[in-house]
Structure 1
């Protein structure tokens, strides 16, 4: 659950500050949608060419992120965004489940058929780029969601964190296959991500959304307490 400190911050927000944070959320989701549309096109194309289950799953995850960001964008165009909090969080949870289902089926079929991906420079490039961009974007969204005390914004940030995990797993799988010919690494990486997606989906559905940057939050809280003293 979100800390009591963030709840106090949310209730003490001025109307001007809350409006500014709402605009920031719209900017974040706008950037997320734009980037992930491009990422999805490149990843699905590269995954199809290379016959990579994990890379195609990575591209589909980008589509899920677009849907998640679109749900947040819709929520924050309402006059009373907080009223739609529960519905939006559950939509994000369903998106996690859909991603996990597809990735699991595709990875298992690839293992059964003993099919490994071909070398994919584009796949390595797009996953490496996401490993740089997505952590920064997620951190920015977490800070915003925590101040607003918004579970839907925090859930969307966790979707971005899942993209970081997925990017890392796919990158490692593609690299191991290219360097050592480990054809199965791609599918194993995809299954690991599917498990993470299921876990995140369950937590989002329950509304049990915590910050994925708890260590940083703890440090921030300690700094604030030290300043007050």
Structure 2
């Protein structure tokens, strides 16, 4: 039990760290994206807001368990968290598709600022670490919602590298369409994880493939 409690506290700490970074990421990405008229950076900022909301719900769920709530209340909080994370991922998939199609139709290539590029680079390094930590702790305490939130974090990392690759290839070869295509390639992964989280919230115990 002591080991379980330690893992729950680690989960709380990792969510606080993740949410702190999401606030910074959202502010810088949205600000830089608006200034540079960059849809890819604005989409990156939107992803940060979605993950911030999901992280807040996960923090609530973990705090309830850390305070010694009954098993039934923890399970109820877990189910609510799975719903929020799953819906957040599905909303992110919709946003990616709409944003990518708009960019392809309007022939808008990747644009950025030095601050936006620096942010994407930092996120590409930080988010995989946070993702691994969430998935590991989620497995230790039996929280599929926390593991699914780890999937949100890795999607954030993929989007960061998509921004960087798009900017680089557009600058080198004029491939204005590359970041839209790369973003669309993420949709399958995002929808898969979102559906699994929703199925878990509906009570299908083996729905979350990322936890096996």
User: Normalization by structure 2: what TM-score?
Assistant: 0.86
Larger Rg, first or second structure (1 or 2):
1
Partner of 2:204: none
Match of 1:131 among 97, 101, 124: 124
Partner of 1:72: 58
Q: Runs of 4+ in structure 1 displaced over 3 angstroms?
A: none
- Match for 2:48 among 43, 58, 62? 62
Show CA shifts across 1:169-214 (max 9, x none).
22211211122221112222232233332222112112222447x7
Which ranges of structure 1 fall in alignment gaps of 5 or more residues?
1-13, 215-229
Work out the CA distance in 2 between the residues paired with 1:119 and 1:90: 34
The 3 A distance-change label for structure 1 pair 126 and 133 is same
Identify if the C-alpha distance between structure 1 residues 63 and 119 changes in structure 2 by more than 3 Å, giving closer, same or farther: closer
Gaps of 5+ in 2: 201-206
How far did 1:119 drift?
Answer: 4.4
Distance 1:146 1:177, change over 3 A: same
CA root-mean-square deviation: 1.8
1:184 aligned residue (168, 172, 177): 177
Q: TM-score scaled to structure 1, two decimals?
A: 0.80
Q: Distance in 1 between matches of 2:36 and 2:171?
A: 11
Displacement of 1:117 in angstroms is: 3.4
Shift of 1:34: 0.5
- Tell me, yes or no, if the aligned pair for 1:154 and 1:210 is still in contact at 8 Å: no
Counterpart pick for 2:79 among 76, 79, 86:
86
User: Would you say 1:29 and 2:22 are equivalent positions?
Assistant: no
Return closer, same or farther for 1:50/1:188 CA change in 2, 3 Å cut-off. Answer: farther
Q: Who is 2:140 aligned against?
A: 147
